[in-house]
Amino acid sequence: MPEPTKEDIDALVGPATPHFAYQLRARVEELVAGLPDGNPVKHYGLEKMELLDRLGHASSKAEEGEREPLSRPGWEQIPSSAPAYDPLPPGT
């Protein structure tokens, strides 16, 4: 297999949702495992693995923007608004 690229990592991480975050994190980890520590692609992969960790505790894919207001119609039917940048604490 050729050496992985940032584009390869983006192809895995781009469509990530909270439900599949840890499976995708494992794939990124395997993809960059053989790269030397100073490799920029490995560093990029480690950053994306951290994002996937946060996303795994979130309830939406949102990486930016504000939380939805509690006054939004239908809010009582949404279990959580935790985005990837501010995920729920583990175990909740």
Instruction: Detail the DSSP E strand segments found in 1-73.
Output: none
Tokens coding 73: 């119609």
Q: Measured between alpha carbons, how far is 6 from 42 in angstroms, rounded to an integer?
A: 9
Is 18 within 8 Å of 56 (Cβ atoms)?
Answer: yes
CB 20 within 8 A of CB 58: no
CB 62 within 8 Å of CB 23 = no
| pTM of the model as a whole | 0.68
Question: What are the pLDDT digits (tens) for 25-62?
Answer: 999 999 999 999 999 999 999 999 999 988 887 766 65
